[in-house]
Structure 1
Amino acid sequence: MNIDVPYDMFVESADVEMFEPAQWTRVVNSRVQGNPAAVAQVVELLLGAERPLILAGHGVLLAEAWDELQELARELRIPVITSALGKGLMPEDDPLALGAVGAFGPYPANEAARSADVILALGCRFSDLHTSSWEQGYTYSIPPTRLIHVDIDPQEIGRNYPVAVGVVGDCRMVLQQLLDGIAGKGRPDLAAWHAQVDQAKEAWEKFMEPRRTSDKAPIQVDRVFHEARKALPGNAAVFIDAGNAGGWAVQQWQALEPYTHQVAGGMNAMGWAPAAPLGAKLADPARPCICVCGDGSFSMVPHVVATAVEYSIPVVWLVLNDYSWGAIKGLQGAYFDGKEIATSFEVHNEGKLYNPDFALWAKACGADGEQVKDPAELGPALERAVGSGKPYVLDVIIDRDAGVPLTAGWAMPPVPIGKPVFGKPK
């Protein structure tokens, strides 16, 4: 869209009648409840399920319904998965929280999603990344799983999967209706389901532990997010850029509160996240604000460091440096039998990997920074960065050949969906 305003309009004067400010700022504040008959059906399905699961999406965040979500889950002892945009709605250190589901989701989330007999989906769209490109049994098994879909937009219900019950309504209002609906009713015996879920969690922890604690150099990204979680407080807002950083964070970053895993969603553009923490820090000065991005993304907008120095905004950039457009490099390898075209950053007449020294760039701008090559230095470096009170760049040299250990899949036609690294489809 283009709005073309002639210059003379900015200097002309006119007598106009203005509305009162209150009329300009008035907003619609009503919330839509679900159809009571449909809500009653949902209650019946949830209480009669043997393997129920709650899926919380972005709609729960927009409705600010995380308290109601957590109350329902804990009242019925139903495990919770989320979409990538819903991370943090259920604290991911809660025993009922299984993480974000989909192509890059952890094993417990995907295994529960494809094993559930009833799923209560709240405010989600079932996109390709969220569903393993809709491949049956990779993330979801709908049908035979019976889907309850709650959304404020009726066009979303039944768009990608058939539903047993569809409820049009605001997620907070519908959750309140469900809480009222289960009052005074018996609770289902989910002991066998919890045992199955716990088995998946234990298997995943056994697989991940050596990756999270690896002393290999270049540094494993699993270790980066593990150290970040230990070093950062629970309310730290982490802004995740597009590309491989986003996939790693969906699986590896443990979000403990709403709005602490900030992503643009969908096929978003690279380079937005390095700037985003500046505004967040100005809005909430007491909250640590961190950008996690790749070296390619950071190279697009390195001037944000200078802006942070100009306005004394103490944010942290954690740059996952693999000397490449890592996500595109991986896709090229899949399309072209392992070949890559212009995705590695190198001095081409020497074949030597090249990137600017991002830590020195930070210092040149008047900020602070350091390059991290030793995994043992990750935690202390993060603590120094957050505690410095200055804009701070951490240039972390990571394993450029490591990928997110997929527990589901993603198809990029004509490349077919691949086999998971851990776990298997139903």
Structure 2
Amino acid sequence: MNLSHDANGQGSDGAVENTIRLTVGQAIIRFLVNQYAERDGVEKRLVAGAFGIFGHGNVAGIGQALLQNEIDPDPDGGEMPYRMPRNEQGMVNAAAAFAKATNRMQTMMCTSSIGPGALNMVTGAALATTNRLPVLLFPADQFATRFPDPVLQQIENSQTLDTSVNDAFRPVSVFFDRINRPEQLIPSLMQAMRALTDPAETGAVTIALPQDVQAEAYDFPAEAFAKRVWHVRRPPLEKTALDRAVQLIKGAKRPLVVAGGGVIYSEASRELRKFAEATGIPVADTQAGKGAINFDHPQSVGGIGSTGADAANHLGENADVVLGIGTRYSDFTTASRTQFKNRDVKFVNVNVKAFDAVKNGGEMLVADAREALADLTDALADYRVSDEYAQEIAQEKQAWEHEVQHCYHLGHGPLPAQTEVFGALNELMSDSDVIINAAGSMPGDLQALWQARTPEQYHVEYAFSTMGYEIPAALGVKLAMPESEVVAIVGDGTYQMLPMELATIVQENIKVIFVLLQNYGFASIGALSESHGSQRFGTRYRMGAGNAHNQEGEILPVDIAKNAESWGLNVLRVSSIEEFKLAYHEATQAPRATMIYIETDLMGPNPPNCSWWDVPVSQVSRLESTQKAYKEYVESKKDQRHYF
């Protein structure tokens, strides 16, 4: 039975209007199932499903609405599929990964109870906004009426009664609102949809819902629940901006493209390949942009920056014009502003977001990546790099390919290096499969070494670099790409941060593969600590009664493989690369989620690197290791440029 009903109301002008009596929670679901996103003629449901962890703040409000929709779907919009996660941060991570895998054309909604449940979502919100990924969050809130005051899990502020923990979402959301009366809901939801489908300003959208308001009934106008299509725009490139960019590029002798995530989200890979083929300009990629151009394209020179490939970095050092497309120029991309060493280098930046287009003092081309690349290709029809530069590009590419194959086939022992595991995966996975990673030493090795053949194959979250992202991300990506083999590489450190969504994956019968690299410590921060004079302090898992400097103590008796089995996963233990390859084939044939567990060498070796990352070193110290590191730090900063 449909618990809502239609009614007729009379407007202020005497006209009769159709209304539907719903609670605020029910109205939210009925509204969302009727929202669609469209680009290039392809139309999809914008909010494809719901994650929710329920408590007293939302169980009888938006939780009841989801139940009602499942039992008796809204007649004008259909179902809102619900999945039960285990951790609030995890479900937002999954929603962000889903949005990334759909090129930001779809997302998931997430609902939590008030207090700790809501605050657990803040990290996920920051991840989404930093990565420019749309997610829709509904944290429950205190009572709008303030009858129960303070309510359970409410933080009181003696300065004002109008503040709740949900105000912590404001700085990490692209849109934030609090619904204190039912009349506020529809305008707020309209703004939320606008933000979710805005290619320039998207990120976390947060609507705080006081728990009494969630359950409050109101006569909503029926027209609010009609199907609405949000058209995702492709801003064209202004003619005058194009002319300025073309003039700069035509004057370049050593131009370089830096392709960011905006190329992939715009689905502009074909246009990027055509541009590179026509002009001969080499293309480097960022973490978010890897795969925007296939690695074996003659102009593809690999990752750039602090964790990039020597080929791209060598070309970047001497570039006279850098054409950034869809990149936000993170400190890793610019090697903390030391990568582009030519003091006369000019930047031309294509981005839908003016905030990013102006970076490095660049010539601003505020436009969609696909549209801009097509226009630039036409306008540069009579331009091509010199034969000398083309030969240098080919030589750099060939030299780096030799390094990649060396790192992939080290024959390191007794424990394999993680680069060998990556090499095996790179060879075993198909073009439509997806590799997932986020934090630690692995994203650096992957950006340097991974040879992406398609835009969808490489899924690394490195804008917020959130430990614990990989497991829930596998859930989100698989929901978006059910036909692909989804492989999440997980370190022992990140596994201990957020393994809870393994239960959701098992419960929902989601078939994914996890590759667990066990090295009993934090490899990335350990190496960083050592290189900066801090002797790997507090980065190894060793018995030692709290002595964080203990490097040689007994290894912790924590068995992650058994722990994964306890969550319900199929676990395959291997000790060599050959065994790993066999296990991977077995995992692809398994009917359920599988983990391949392999121990790797904490000390690497890692790929060679010729770029820098600015991590300040203590200026004074009694430790000789720190004194030495500070001298090296001062020397490295000499190449750093402050603004441009």
Change (3 A) 1:9 1:203: closer
Say yes or no: does 1:181 pair with 2:181. no
What does residue 151 of structure 2 align with? none
Give the number of equivalent residue pairs: 413
Match of 1:140 among 340, 348, 357: 340
Say yes or no: does 1:94 pair with 2:291. no
Matches within 5 A, 1:371-382: 371-382=573-584
Secondary structure of the equivalent of 2:448?
Answer: helix
Contact 2:438 2:462 in 1 (8 A): no
What does residue 290 of structure 1 align with? 487
Post-superposition Cα deviations, 1:153-201, rounded to whole Å, max 9, x if no partner, equal 2232343x233x332222222112213323xx43425321121122222
Q: How big is the shift at 1:418?
A: 9.5
Post-superposition Cα deviations, 1:254-309, rounded to whole Å, max 9, x if no partner, equal 22111322122323321011111112212221111111121110122233333222
Matches within 5 A, 1:5-404: 5=209, 7-22=211-226, 25-135=228-338, 139-159=339-359, 161-163=360-362, 165-182=363-380, 185-217=381-413, 218-341=415-538, 343-348=539-544, 351-354=553-556, 356-402=558-604, 403-404=606-607
Q: How big is the shift at 1:339?
A: 4.4
Q: Distance between the aligned counterparts of 1:401 and 1:257, measured in 2?
A: 31
Q: Distance between the aligned counterparts of 1:205 and 1:253, measured in 2?
A: 11
Contact 1:345 1:355 in 2 (8 A): no
Matched to 2:352, the amino acid is: I
Secondary structure of the equivalent of 1:127?
Answer: coil
Matched to 1:76, the amino acid is: T
Normalised TM-score (structure 2): 0.60
Post-superposition Cα deviations, 1:353-377, rounded to whole Å, max 9, x if no partner, equal 2263333333333321122221222
Normalised TM-score (structure 1): 0.89
Change (3 A) 1:21 1:33: same
Where relative contact order (Cα < 8 A, 6+ residues apart) is larger, the structure is: 1
Q: Distance between the aligned counterparts of 1:198 and 1:12, measured in 2?
A: 66
Contact 1:48 1:188 in 2 (8 A): no
Q: Distance between the aligned counterparts of 1:22 and 1:39, measured in 2?
A: 40
Q: How big is the shift at 1:102?
A: 0.7
Q: How big is the shift at 1:147?
A: 1.9
Change (3 A) 1:154 1:365: closer
Q: Distance between the aligned counterparts of 2:556 and 2:335, measured in 1?
A: 34
Q: How big is the shift at 1:389?
A: 2.9
Identity %: 26
Backbone CA RMSD of aligned residues:
2.6
Post-superposition Cα deviations, 1:190-218, rounded to whole Å, max 9, x if no partner, equal 32112112222233333443332122221
Contact 2:302 2:308 in 1 (8 A): yes
Q: How big is the shift at 1:246?
A: 1.5
Contact 2:319 2:342 in 1 (8 A): no
Matched to 1:15, the amino acid is: D
Change (3 A) 1:60 1:385: same
More strand per residue: 2
Matched to 1:245, the amino acid is: M
Contact 1:248 1:404 in 2 (8 A): yes
What does residue 160 of structure 2 align with? none
Change (3 A) 1:419 1:88: farther
Q: How big is the shift at 1:243?
A: 1.5
Unmatched tracts of structure 2, length 5 or more: 1-165, 168-177, 179-207, 546-551, 618-629
Contact 1:99 1:108 in 2 (8 A): yes
Unmatched tracts of structure 1, length 5 or more: none
